[in-house]
Structures are given as C-alpha cells and as structure tokens.
Chains A and B, each alone.
Chain A
C-alpha cells in the first residue's frame, strides 16, 4: 500500500497496535503487518519519529526493558491515548461508511 495513504493514519494505527499490550517498535511494525495481511509495509524506521511524537503528546508512555542482554524501549497506551483511540475509532467508522456509500462499495 502506498506510503502517502498510510502517512495520515500512522499515529492512529500505532495507537491501535499498542492498545492491548506493551510493545517495542519492531513488534508494533510486525503487529501492523500481521493485522493488515501484509498490506502495511512501511520503511520500518518511520515508526520511531511517530512513537516519539505520540509520547510527547502523552498518548503513549515508554520505559526501558531488558531483552537478550540489550536494552529495549517498550510503549504502552496512556489513559489519554485510550480515550483518543476510542474517539478516532468512532470517527473512522462514520467516515468510512460515508466514503463507502459515496463510492458505491457497500
């Protein structure tokens, strides 16, 4: 899938991937790939600026953990992140329903 399509939705997708468990960057990319059936195949490094941006916005929180002798940064959704995700999910449902109706794909 083209990067431009994803770019505007990346934050939302990241929040969704990290919703139910603490994940590190690599695992978030894997989760996105798995959930999209391989359609979301971004340059993997692009996720980190987004993660840092979301953390600054207090939608994600992070901490170092230890894995196989090396440090790993894991991210989890904050309460504010959960609230925003729920709101965006509702908005997306209305939006996609409307788009589908216009395009005649429903």
Chain B
C-alpha cells in the first residue's frame, strides 16, 4: 500500500514540476541540488532567479515567446547539477581547512587529557595515600578519558567514517566530556577553596576536556552524513 502512496506522491511531484515554468522548474531543481548552508542556498537561488528573469526579459524583447525565452535563459545558465557542484567544491575548500584545524586541535587535546589522566592515576597508585574507592574512581575516570581520546582520534582521522550510529556515539561522548570537564573544574575549585592548594594541572585538564568535547560536538555537526 505504501508503494502505491509513494507512487502517487511521486507522480504528483512530477506533475507539479511539469506545471512550473522553465525558470521555476530550474530553480526548484537548483534548490534541491545545492548542498550548502540553507541561508546561502536561498541567496544563490534568489540571484539565479533574478539573472534568469533578466535574460528572459531581454530575449522576449527580441520577439521570442514567453516559453522560448525562459527555455533559452535556462539553457544559457547551465545545468543545476553543475552549478550546485561548483558551489559544493568552493565550500569544501574552507571546510577542509577548518576540519584540518579541528582535527589537529582535538587530537592534541585528546592526547593532553589522556596523558594527564595517566599521570594522575600513576601518581595516586604510587603514593598510596588515598583509599581504594578513590583509586578505583580515578582509574575509571582515567580509562574513560583515554577511551574517549582513542575514539576521538579514530573518528577524526579515519576516512569514510560515515556510519550515523558512530556519529551518535561520538556526540554522546562529547556531551559526556564537557560534563566531566566541568565537574572536574568545579570540584578542583571547591577543594582549593577549602585547602588553599590550587592544583592548576587538574583545572587545566578539566578545561582541555571541555574544549575537546565542544570541538567534537561542533565537528560532527559539520560532517554528519545524510541518513538513508
């Protein structure tokens, strides 16, 4: 039954496209093909519309019919696919640079936080001055951070990581990192106020976690693959 409905909707869509003027049909197709930010896409479509209407007007002044003028204007403009592709590649240059910057920043932060966590756990075990519970807690914390670091690096540098589930996990992990970072900062400040001993490396680690999480949150948003 669903197939029948799909077919009806598709043929209804085709009818709508057929009833549009050549310029309107071209603009609808261009809007569909553009893979850029919606405000920019709207601007491109508005500019194309103005251009096509201007060309058609000029052609009508040379005694072409309305249909002929619009058809010729569209033909001169090029195909929506090619234009959309050109915009895509122009955008990608900027995005590629930003992605590289992000990759390097997040990788650095992931390595930094993981190293600090490792050192913190090793220090705790070495001194043996804290209770087992605290050691387990620090161990878990360190493991989580290191695992997230590994996931971050794998996600950022693995080509073709197009699985939406993977992106969801990364996003969830990013929220976790931000939360964890904030908790660490707040706790370090709270303890420092009581004891007067400011452990700056812990605050720095918390800040690095927050930054790593926020960059990861932003990064998947830019690259989330289209779900089928």
A93 at the A/B interface (Cβ < 8 Å)?
Answer: no
B90 adjacent to A49 (CB under 8 Å): yes
| Minimum CB distance partner of A27 in chain B | B54
B65 at the A/B interface (Cβ < 8 Å)?
Answer: no
A70 adjacent to B50 (CB under 8 Å): yes
B76 vs chain A, min Cβ distance (A): 5
B50 touches which one: A45, A52, A56, A72 (CB < 8 A)?
A72
B96 vs chain A, min Cβ distance (A): 14
B77 adjacent to A45 (CB under 8 Å): yes
B55 adjacent to A44 (CB under 8 Å): yes
Residues of B close to A45: CB separation below 8 A: 48, 51, 77-78, 82-83
A39 vs chain B, min Cβ distance (A): 16
- Indicate whether A26 sits within 8 Å of B50 (C-beta atoms), given known contacts A43-B76, A43-B77, A44-B78: yes
A25 touches which one: B40, B51, B94 (CB < 8 A)?
B51
B53 at the A/B interface (Cβ < 8 Å)?
Answer: yes
A2 at the A/B interface (Cβ < 8 Å)?
Answer: no
Residues of A close to B86: CB separation below 8 A: 46, 49
8 Å CB interface, A34-53 against B = 43-46, 48-49, 52-53
A76 at the A/B interface (Cβ < 8 Å)?
Answer: no
| Minimum CB distance partner of B75 in chain A | A43
B6 at the A/B interface (Cβ < 8 Å)?
Answer: no
Size bin of chain B's contact surface: 20 to 34
| Minimum CB distance partner of A52 in chain B | B90
A98 vs chain B, min Cβ distance (A): 30
Which of B47, B50, B83 is most buried by chain A, counting CB atoms within 10 A of its CB?
Answer: B47
- Indicate whether A48 sits within 8 Å of B50 (C-beta atoms), given known contacts A53-B90, A56-B94: no
Residues of A close to B76: CB separation below 8 A: 43-44
B31 vs chain A, min Cβ distance (A): 14
| Minimum CB distance partner of A24 in chain B | B50
Q: Can you list, as one digit per residue, whether each of B56-81 has a CB less than 8 Å from chain A (1) or not (0)? A: 00000000000000000000111000
Q: Can you list, as one digit per residue, whether each of A12-23 has a CB less than 8 Å from chain B (1) or not (0)? A: 000000000000
A41 vs chain B, min Cβ distance (A): 9
Residues of B close to A43: CB separation below 8 A: 76-78, 82
Residues of B close to A53: CB separation below 8 A: 90
A73 touches which one: B47, B53, B77 (CB < 8 A)?
B47
8 Å CB interface, B87-107 against A = 87, 89-90, 94
B43 adjacent to A73 (CB under 8 Å): yes
B44 at the A/B interface (Cβ < 8 Å)?
Answer: yes
23 contacting pairs across A/B (C-beta < 8 A): A25-B47, A25-B51, A26-B55, A43-B77, A43-B82, A44-B51, A44-B76, A45-B51, A45-B77, A45-B83, A46-B82, A46-B83, A46-B86, A49-B83, A49-B87, A49-B89, A52-B40, A52-B87, A56-B94, A70-B50, A70-B53, A71-B50, A73-B50
